Structure 1
Amino acid sequence: MTATITLLGALFAHYRRHPVQGIFLLVGIVVANVLLAGTLLINAQARASYGQGEQLLNASPSGQIRHRESGRPVDETDYILLRRSGFDTVAPLLRQVVRTSTNEAVELLGIDVFAMPRGTAAGDSAQTSELDFTGFAYPPYSLWASPTRLAQLGADEGERLPLLSGSSLPPLTALPDSQLGHRMLIDIGALQELTNQRGRLSSLLVFPTTAEQISRLEDALPHDLVYVSGSDAPDPAELTRSFHLNLAAMGLLAFVVGIFLTYNALAFSYTDRAELIRKLRLAGIARSEMRNALLLELALFLALGLLLGGWLGARLAASLLPGVGQTLAQLYGVYIAYPDSLVPAGFWLPPLMTAAAALLCVLFPLREMLDAPILEQRQSAWQHRNIQRRDRWFAVVGAGLLLAALFTALTLSRTSLGLWPALAGMACLLLGAALLLPLVLRLLLSALARAVPARNARLSWLVADSRWLLGPASLALMAMTLALVANSGLNTLIGSFRDATEQWLDQRLAADLYLRGDLDPGTLVEGLASEATGLEAGERYRTTVVRPTPRGGRAELEIVSLRSGARFRNAVRLIDGVDNAAERFRAGEGIYASERAWRLDGWVTGQLIQLCPDRPELQVLGTYHDYGNPRSQWMVSRDRFLECWPEQPPSGLTLSGPDGTDWNRLRALLT
């Protein structure tokens, strides 16, 4: 043991003379672990938040009451009547977004803490027992937020954030580990005054109660309100699946790149110390002693890199989590918590990655270093044979991976196995191509060497030198190839998605101006006649229903109307449809289903559906893209919509006109 420690000291003496190489080795291992640990922790924390459901001060609503027409407010009078009728598990909620003086968007949740059921916000919770509910609910009020959100805004506790409107928010109060995430809590009365929403609510929260009480509650609701159970609401994990799939793919890429980083860092350290190791062997150090010392050194570096990488990865995840939460809130309306400590999950993957890199190092550079001839004159030929043998192994494994990718592609062309088999097939394709790269380059250089004329000495030397450099540089070339392919693929993916989305928006937004509010189309056009001629206005209708899906579940559906006319008819391009779908849709013989309703809920083209009670069944005439909509949607003609919901008020108006109309001026006049 003493000899091993002494030998280990001699090996580490190399890093005392060349500290940059030691730093490079450690940084390579640490960076590989940071990338992987960071993505794993962010995904784990988000999924933990989804699993807990929406919580407000430890209170978990089992459902909510909202207006049948999405986006319309709930009248506060209806809430008061429900409370007076004995429904004490109902509490009001108001969501508003305000902008600070620095133009930072702040989402505020207005609640009545004393209306929430006992044992939750104003009850016996240990977390909320020390909070000043009186200061929250009475002037000058207080604004509760997570400490991470305060840091994101650059605000201190007790500070009053100024708004663009000229007013100020109540004093800030930090609420640790509150599950608030990106949102901030304020008294509902204060928020109504602040945003001029007196008498209006976004929805009514319904907290857990008996099934009989829920049935009574539904019977007592006004006709324009609907109860939506938490099980019928969109699943946040499902809404954000594509987002987390990208994060998971980044984690897998970090896993593969991390193996290359760690392997190259270790291989470089062995290559650079080849002369030192050879001299130690010549001095009488046995092969087994050298092996034990190198393995102990490898274990020390990997353990230190793993610990540092895990700690820095957690710090990275904690710093990026608020940005991820902001993105999820803005894109999907989904909120995750900013806890004081992250969910410990996925910690087995960084050690697995490090162990894989260590195994590769033991199998290749470390074993090669120990097997290398001690005499210098024999090393060149031995190294050449060793590199050729390694390239053949790479080629065999690469060919196997390409065959696996081909098998996956053929299988996916016949059956739908999901995204993960497709990602696995793509990974096999990329890794297989990268592993074949050294052999392909060597064959190309050999062919080039034969083609170079013997009298061209400089070119012959260049080709020969390139062939020699290919051995030590092959792994770096493989890593660079993977990085270039990943970068090119990512840019292509993002660019094609951006182009498709922009083209879809240009096509889908057929009207020039979209308005909300109770406006009469004729009155609006008449009022704008002095500003512009040739304007056309039409009403838009929208409602929300809950329907059983063909796959056995229940889905919340948006039912929207489509105006008549070629301009709006051409705004919907079908992915697939029945014959004469557009003419039959215009005649009210069927509906269109969104892509989400088709792929996730199971409504396929040609299927019969019940749009509304006491009406004949209609056929799904086609499916269409509906990017960015977290809810499934059915589209119907305006006449068919009004047949089913004759008392439904319009959700807004569309305004269109000839080319040359000054829409900016009209928008300014109407807002």
Structure 2
Amino acid sequence: METSKTGFAFDNLLITDIAAAQEVLGKIGWIDRIDLIIPDLHSKSHIIEQIENILPIGARLEHNSEKTGSMREMVSAFQLNLTALSLLALVVGMFLIYNTVTFSVIQRRPTIATLRAIGATRNEVFIMILVEAIILGGLGTAGGVGLGILLGQGTVEMMSRTINDIFFVTNVRTVEITWNVLIKSSLIGLLASLFAALIPSYEATNVSPVSALRRSHIEEKTRMALPWVSTIGALVLVLGGILLIPNWNLIITFSGVFMVLIGFSLLTPLVTLIIMRLVQQVLKRGFGLVSSMAIRDITRSLSRTSVAITSLMVAVSVIIGVGLMTSSFRLTVEKWLEDLLQADIFISAPRVASSVASLIDPQLVDEVQKVSGIKRILTNREVTVNANNIGIVQLFAVSADVAGNKRKYKSALGNVSETWEMVKSGGVVINEPMSVRFGLKAGDQIKLFTDRGGHSFEIVAIAYDFDVRPSVTIYDGTYRLFWDDQNISSIALIIDSKTQINEIISQLRRQLAGKGQVVIQSNHSLRRNAMLVFDRTFTLTIALQVLSMIVAFIGILSTLMGFQLERRQEIGLLRALGVTGQQLWKLILLETGLMGASAGLIAMPVGLVLAIILIYVINLRSFGWTLQMHLQTMEFFKAFAVAVSSALVAGIYPAWQLSRIPVIDALRSE
């Protein structure tokens, strides 16, 4: 079917009549399945019972949902993780909205005070500001929806490739825009704008006309509220931790993650004050009086500076958390592949997707044996079978364990060698995702539907695995007893001398030339290709990190502009007292640098906690993977550098603007 006419999963699909397919595939007289459409009648159950009674041994009647249910669960978990990462960016965006509305209120505080003085009520001013925020939020949401569609078109190929690599074959190339998605996105944008604008709107109206003209009134209230805000932050943090206690509901788990972030955010003002007091004496020796002025400006305007620090902290903590999770995941997978792939050379048929195993001629084993330098030959047959109460699972029938003594089990009924002997005696090994998703453990029974009918196998071990599909490993001899299948999917070779690997691969290519299409890879090449798939999978998370950082940068820029605008008269007074433009630059950049450094320092433990949650909670509950935490100090240094440099760059424009204002204009109050 032509790609240009479909654009969906039917691309690259060959459709032919059954007779031609049987001849080409060597299955003359055989069919794989019969699809039935049973009318939704009162006698439907009776019809199903009659069909089941006439089925031959090895055949079974299965509902379509059994095939699609497992895939839906896997894709649903994948979508939920992407949604959660997107909501992290939304949290950072809400801080940006808060800053924007606050900046607008700061600019118009004298106007608001005048309106209050001539009779405008608090509710009228509150509604005025809130309506403005909603209008701006609506415009921003409309722009965001449009930009989201463009980004969706740009990332659909990337996502399609990721699903091909991990889940199942698909070839989606177009973006399907539904009203459901548009309405949901618009509502989320408007509600986020409304929620973020509530506090600055309330702040602007909850003061008298006289106090509205005094900045000190807001800071007094902020100082008085600080103990309460910190206490609430600690309580929210504890509540978030409670929600993370083993619970397999991912929505509750993600709610716990967001509550942890909100809890840390509410604690940021208090921690900022502590950091400023700790560094005051150290900075005074290097920067003199300017450092004291910078620290004083940050702490006395905590209602503004803490928001900028918090938004930057959240963005940087996401960078640290996702960065640590990704690097830990990568190192864990690298070590797992190193232990798992102990053979030197692998031979397989070309694959159209990771979920589709092709066949190679079993006679190739005899051809491979003719090549000198090969010490041992191992075979693998990969098929999909049905498991009772589970659905479709991947079945690997192996002649020997390619990992050998390097194999690591999450749990087993014996040691590595004993476990393999139990597998040879009829036991099976299941992967960790299957164990987690269906609550299976070593010692349980699993019923597989074979060509001889349903048969129960004992689970002798749970193997670490980073495939999202449930899989069962069985001994090749046991597989041949229960399934009428002599085919193989891949061959693994162990050679006498690893220094001859390139020479042996060349011999194999000559020996197997003209005997069917096969892919011959060295151990190193196979692992490298596997890691390329891994890197492609996490491309989207890297893009999300960059997006969060851009949003945070805009947020801190708007905060600094508002912060410096409030200090216009103060800056004018400093200039009148003899402060030079160079000294003013030094003061403002030191302030912004300290704010960035504070955000970076606070983000380190927050990012570490976020990484721990992502590794030990989110990944395990979403996909059933056990990852090992690998602390990469470079992730912390990189994030700290990003925080400081972002704050410094954001401070350049306000510093440039204020240094150019004439003293008389800065001192003028009307």
- What TM-score, normalized by structure 1, do the two folds share? 0.61
Give the Cα separation in 2 of the matches to 1:390 and 1:360: 18
Contact 1:260 1:357 in 2 (8 A): no
Deviation at 1:583, TM superposition (A): 1.7
Give the Cα separation in 1 of the matches to 2:273 and 2:78: 41
Deviation at 1:312, TM superposition (A): 4.2
Deviation at 1:480, TM superposition (A): 0.8
Q: Which residue of 1 aligns with 2:197?
A: 361
Q: Which residue of 2 aligns with 1:244?
A: 79
Give the Cα separation in 2 of the matches to 1:321 and 1:429: 31
Give the Cα separation in 2 of the matches to 1:420 and 1:340: 25
Contact 1:521 1:538 in 2 (8 A): no
Q: Say yes or no: does 1:603 pair with 2:440.
A: yes
Q: Which residue of 2 aligns with 1:206?
A: 35
Give the Cα separation in 1 of the matches to 2:224 and 2:420: 67
Contact 1:598 1:623 in 2 (8 A): yes
Deviation at 1:316, TM superposition (A): 4.2
Give the Cα separation in 2 of the matches to 1:356 and 1:664: 59
Deviation at 1:397, TM superposition (A): 2.5
**What is the DSSP-based 3-state SS (H/G/I as helix, E as strand, rest coil) of the residue aligned with 1:233?**
helix
Q: Which residue of 2 aligns with 1:621?
A: 460
2:66 to 232, 235, 241: 232
Q: Say yes or no: does 1:342 pair with 2:178.
A: yes
1:586 to 421, 429, 453: 421
Give the Cα separation in 2 of the matches to 1:186 and 1:637: 33
Q: Which residue of 1 aligns with 2:346?
A: 513
Q: Say yes or no: does 1:500 pair with 2:335.
A: no
Contact 2:298 2:305 in 1 (8 A): no
Q: Which residue of 1 aligns with 2:493?
A: 655
**What is the DSSP-based 3-state SS (H/G/I as helix, E as strand, rest coil) of the residue aligned with 2:67?**
coil
2:267 to 433, 436, 440: 436
Q: Which residue of 2 aligns with 1:50?
A: none
CA RMSD after TM alignment: 4.1
Q: Deviations over 1:173-226 (max 9, x none)?
A: x35xxxx624327663599999x957779966624256479559954x9x8x98
Give the Cα separation in 1 of the matches to 2:395 and 2:433: 14
Code of the aligned partner of 1:351: L
Code of the aligned partner of 2:334: E
**What is the DSSP-based 3-state SS (H/G/I as helix, E as strand, rest coil) of the residue aligned with 2:66?**
coil
1:665 to 484, 502, 506: 506
Q: Which residue of 1 aligns with 2:95?
A: 260
Q: Which has the higher strand share?
A: 1
Q: Which residue of 2 aligns with 1:539?
A: 379
Q: 1:344 to 1:616 in 2, by over 3 A?
A: closer
Give the Cα separation in 2 of the matches to 1:356 and 1:647: 58
Q: Which has the higher helix share?
A: 2
Across the two proteins, how many residue pairs are aligned to each other? 479
**What is the DSSP-based 3-state SS (H/G/I as helix, E as strand, rest coil) of the residue aligned with 1:538?**
strand
Q: Deviations over 1:13-36 (max 9, x none)?
A: xxxxxxxxxxxxxxxxxxxxxxxx
Give the Cα separation in 2 of the matches to 1:354 and 1:599: 38
Give the Cα separation in 1 of the matches to 2:370 and 2:103: 77
Give the Cα separation in 1 of the matches to 2:62 and 2:444: 26
Q: Say yes or no: does 1:460 pair with 2:292.
A: yes
**What is the DSSP-based 3-state SS (H/G/I as helix, E as strand, rest coil) of the residue aligned with 1:325?**
helix
Deviation at 1:393, TM superposition (A): 4.3
1:528 to 371, 382, 392: 371
1:423 to 254, 258, 267: 254
Q: 1:603 to 1:458 in 2, by over 3 A?
A: closer
Contact 2:109 2:213 in 1 (8 A): no
Aligned counterparts, 1:25-104, within 5 A: none
Q: Which residue of 2 aligns with 1:273?
A: 108
Give the Cα separation in 2 of the matches to 1:286 and 1:610: 75
Code of the aligned partner of 1:181: F
Give the Cα separation in 1 of the matches to 2:446 and 2:291: 74
2:305 to 473, 486, 509: 473
Contact 1:442 1:467 in 2 (8 A): yes
**What is the DSSP-based 3-state SS (H/G/I as helix, E as strand, rest coil) of the residue aligned with 2:93?**
helix
Q: Deviations over 1:79-130 (max 9, x none)?
A: xxxxxxxxxxxxxxxxxxxxxxxxxxxxxxxxxxxxxxxxxxxxxxxxxxxx
Code of the aligned partner of 2:138: A
Code of the aligned partner of 1:604: K
Q: 1:501 to 1:385 in 2, by over 3 A?
A: same
Contact 1:521 1:539 in 2 (8 A): no
Aligned counterparts, 1:110-509, within 5 A: 143-145=1-3, 150=4, 174=5, 181-184=8-11, 188-189=15-16, 206-209=35-38, 211=48, 215=52, 218-219=55-56, 229-235=63-69, 236-278=71-113, 284=118, 286-288=120-122, 290-291=125-126, 293-317=128-152, 320-333=155-168, 335=170, 338=174, 341-345=177-181, 347-348=183-184, 350-352=186-188, 354-362=190-198, 364-371=199-206, 374=209, 379-409=214-244, 411-412=245-246, 416-446=247-277, 457-509=289-341
Deviation at 1:485, TM superposition (A): 0.8
Deviation at 1:358, TM superposition (A): 2.7
Q: 1:299 to 1:431 in 2, by over 3 A?
A: closer
Q: Deviations over 1:486-510 (max 9, x none)?
A: 1111111122222222222232223
Q: 1:478 to 1:321 in 2, by over 3 A?
A: same
Give the Cα separation in 2 of the matches to 1:626 and 1:448: 47
**What is the DSSP-based 3-state SS (H/G/I as helix, E as strand, rest coil) of the residue aligned with 1:240?**
helix
**What is the DSSP-based 3-state SS (H/G/I as helix, E as strand, rest coil) of the residue aligned with 1:528?**
coil
Contact 1:449 1:464 in 2 (8 A): no
**What is the DSSP-based 3-state SS (H/G/I as helix, E as strand, rest coil) of the residue aligned with 1:260?**
helix
Q: Which residue of 1 aligns with 2:646?
A: none
Gaps of 5+ in 2: 39-46, 350-359, 513-517, 519-670
Q: 1:343 to 1:325 in 2, by over 3 A?
A: farther
Contact 1:573 1:624 in 2 (8 A): yes
- What TM-score, normalized by structure 2, do the two folds share? 0.61
Q: Which residue of 2 aligns with 1:556?
A: 392
Q: Say yes or no: does 1:641 pair with 2:479.
A: yes
Deviation at 1:305, TM superposition (A): 3.2
Give the Cα separation in 1 of the matches to 2:166 and 2:14: 26
Give the Cα separation in 1 of the matches to 2:417 and 2:273: 59
Percent sequence identity over matched residues? Answer: 19
**What is the DSSP-based 3-state SS (H/G/I as helix, E as strand, rest coil) of the residue aligned with 1:436?**
helix
Deviation at 1:401, TM superposition (A): 0.6
- Which of 457-466 and 488-497 deviates more? 457-466
Q: Deviations over 1:338-360 (max 9, x none)?
A: 57642514735643553354344
Code of the aligned partner of 1:437: T
Code of the aligned partner of 2:135: L
Q: Which residue of 2 aligns with 1:108?
A: none
Q: 1:199 to 1:580 in 2, by over 3 A?
A: closer
Q: Which residue of 1 aligns with 2:574?
A: none
Contact 1:401 1:432 in 2 (8 A): yes
Q: Which residue of 2 aligns with 1:101?
A: none
Give the Cα separation in 2 of the matches to 1:465 and 1:499: 44
Contact 1:192 1:198 in 2 (8 A): no
Contact 1:395 1:439 in 2 (8 A): yes
Give the Cα separation in 1 of the matches to 2:107 and 2:24: 71
Contact 2:10 2:171 in 1 (8 A): no
Give the Cα separation in 1 of the matches to 2:19 and 2:154: 33
**What is the DSSP-based 3-state SS (H/G/I as helix, E as strand, rest coil) of the residue aligned with 2:498?**
coil
Give the Cα separation in 1 of the matches to 2:439 and 2:127: 61
Deviation at 1:644, TM superposition (A): 3.7
Deviation at 1:400, TM superposition (A): 1.9
Q: Deviations over 1:562-612 (max 9, x none)?
A: 3347x6433532111123463253253432122233222343211245677
